[in-house]
Amino acid sequence: MITKVLFGVPFPTDAVTQPVEQVRELKHFSVGEEYGCLIFTCPLDADEVVYGLGETTGGLNKRGGQYISFNTDTADHSDSNPSLYASHNLLVLEKRNFCIFFDTPGKVDFRIDLNGSGKIEVICRGNMAVYQVEAGSTYEAVREFLAAVGPSYLPPRWAFGYGQSRFGYKCEQDFLEVMEGHQKAGLPLDYICMDIDYMDGYRDFSVDSSRFPDLKAFSERMLKEGIRLVPIVDAGIKVDPGEPVYEDGVKHGVFCTNKEGKLFQGGVWPGMTHFPDFLNPKARKWFGQQYKFYTDRGIEGFWNDMNEPALFYTEYTKGPKKLDLALNFVFPRLRKKVKERHTVRDYQSFFHQVDSKPVCHYDVHNIYGGNMIRATSEGLSELLDHRYLIFGRSSYIGAGRYGGVWTGDNTSCWEHIMLNLRHMASLNMCGFLYSGADTGGFMGNCSRELLLRWLAVSTFTPLMRNHSSMGTRAQEAYRFGDPEAFRRILSLRYRLLPYIYSEYMKAALRSDMYIKPLAFTFPEDEKVKNIEDQLLVGNSIMIAPIVTKGATARNVYLPEDMTMVRYDGRDFVCTPCPKGDRQVEVPLDQVVFFIRKDRLLPVGKAVCNSREVTAEDLQLLGDGKTYELYWDDGMTRNCTEDNIRVLEKS
């Protein structure tokens, strides 16, 4: 059962869409007040596991850490950094079958058994609604919370294909080279992302005509090859008198204002920009309509960036007029120190209009990025009569109804493969089913071994995008010598696509999780509570990837009898395995995963593009008898369980 407790008059975040009964008392938590802050406290048993918080650093079990919900543009994804790009204020107490959501758009400090305190402390200012769910199991509690948040975003089927991206692709020739490189190497590909260099002076809703003389014709040319273009769109609109988008925004009054009541100015990639007031429905509608610039050119997929919002400097803070790329990407810790001196003052310096009243951005900071995703989604819903791709960087619970997320500027290191795994399960708990990391790492130089192992993880995540920064080693899969090992792994992704798509769509329609911890399905097995490098993907698969440099084998714990599947690029070799621990050999050019007992896994034929994937002549692996397959045309908005049919193993 889900209930809520109100503290003061909460700011409407729109995170929860379903009616919820209001009660007077919190369960498991006591509440006090000190120095103007509310302090929520819950004692923990010694072996109690705490999940949640979506996109944060730290383990899947959040015990022992401090996590601060304050959306931050940061390249430091180490455990010492308490804030990343998003704020997902959900805690899941596994032992109590209980979850609690602190619904406030401002800063929240979570201290979970910090320094062995044996308790949870949640510290925040202001008014809020606290939602609490108790159910028969942890899994049921999370699902009830997801149902209250509302139905998940539904991407088109091509969005489950493999995507290639790099900050540094500048012109048509760069994109043609990437497409042809994949084709010559026999590597599947569905889309290529366009970072900020496609723009005219880094302006949203523009294109540099010297680099892309006819973007519509180029988009159509790529689409004939099965490749879609997915441009980036940032949060700020360049201050540029005479430029139509800027002038139209000023005319319609859609930008945030400063302390003096004038339009607020902050520096990002194009220089000084104004920020759309995404908390204002009028501004959201205006911003969403601007995407007609792209849809008129045949583009139907986008990624939102810099929407914390990221600020390099503002009209109130001194700083460099243009951040050097070395400061941005080579010395992220230095960048962090430079920015931290100004962050609070910057965010306290501009204002939104909510119900015709000024609201300081600092107090509602964490919902800005999610409302940009909402604005984009609502605009595309009017411009297109079918599904579209949208994923963003900054978010808040509820934004998963409008789009997906990727986990930001990670690094080419083994620790971030593990962080990728933890994020996927935690984000699913918070309603973000369409999610993924920058495969191979955004910053740093990715090795062949690291990319292969990371691709083996990303094979199972809905968003599978290889993305890297300029100044790093180019990490397209065809650049690492013999591409055979990469062909095998990417081939598996497309052979699994009928299953991945089906499981995702069923999870979205049923308020379910696509990826979850083992403990959610095997709550009586004490051993699985501390396993963080094995996850359940859909209802049939368990993955246990290699996440350690140089390793060619690992221990895997099976909480039930399972079927081990080894894919060699052509055939699936299935081996029954009894419950318990076992050592599993995983060569660098193979992917090994497991099918759960009494379950089936449908696999298709090897193809190089999602448009070639069909639901016909599927091979059924595993020892189950039936499988519920969701299948439609991959684009329709009429997504219901009527599209499910039952497959039977002969």
Name the helix (H) or strand (E) containing 354.
strand 350-354
Whether the CB-CB separation of 276 and 255 falls below 8 Å is answered with yes
Q: Residue 635 carries which DSSP code?
A: S
Cis peptide before 545 (omega within 30 of 0): no
Residue 282 tokens read as 């009028």
Write the CB contacts of 530 (distance below 8 Å, at least 6 apart in sequence): 49, 61
Say if strands 191-194 and 162-164 run parallel, antiparallel, or are unpaired: parallel
453, two tokens = 């192992």
Residue 50 and residue 92 in contact, taking contact as beta carbons nearer than 8 Å: yes
Give the span between the Cα atoms of 490 and 189, in whole angstroms.
Answer: 9
> Does the annotation mark 14 as catalytic?
no
Phi, psi angle pair for 124, to nearest 5°: -160, 160
From the candidates 14, 113, 195, 305, give the one annotated as an active-site residue: 305
For the sheet containing 271-274, what is the strand order?
Answer: 237-238, 271-274, 266-268, 313-314
On whether the CB atoms of residues 84 and 95 are closer than 8 A, the answer is: no
Question: Is 409 tagged catalytic?
Answer: yes
Among positive and negative, which fits the CA dihedral 302, 384, 366, 508?
A: negative
Other CB atoms within 10 A of residue 29 CB: 22
Distance separating the N- and C-terminal Cα atoms of the chain: 41
Residues 6 or more apart in contact with residue 235 via CB below 8 angstroms? 268, 275, 276, 304, 305, 306, 307, 309, 310, 368, 369, 372
Count Cβ atoms below 10 Å from residue 487 Cβ, excluding itself: 20
Residue in the block written with tokens 């190497």: 185
119 bridge partner residues:
43
Strands 464-466 and 162-164: parallel
Q: Which of the residues 48, 308, 438, 476 is marked catalytic?
A: 308
Of 73, 103, 409, 632, which one is the catalytic site residue? 409
Give dist(CA 243, CA 368) in Å, integer.
25
Q: Which residues contact 97 (CB under 8 A, 6 or more apart)?
A: 134, 135, 136, 137, 138, 140, 141
As a whole number of angstroms, the distance between CA 378 and CA 235 comes to 16
Element holding 218 (H helix, E strand): helix 215-224
Q: Which residues pair with 263 in a beta bridge?
A: 257
Q: Are 149 and 397 in contact (CB under 8 A)?
A: yes
The owner of tokens 């949208």 is: 390
Cα(370)–Cα(400) distance, rounded to whole angstroms?
A: 8
Active-site amino acid positions: 305, 308, 409
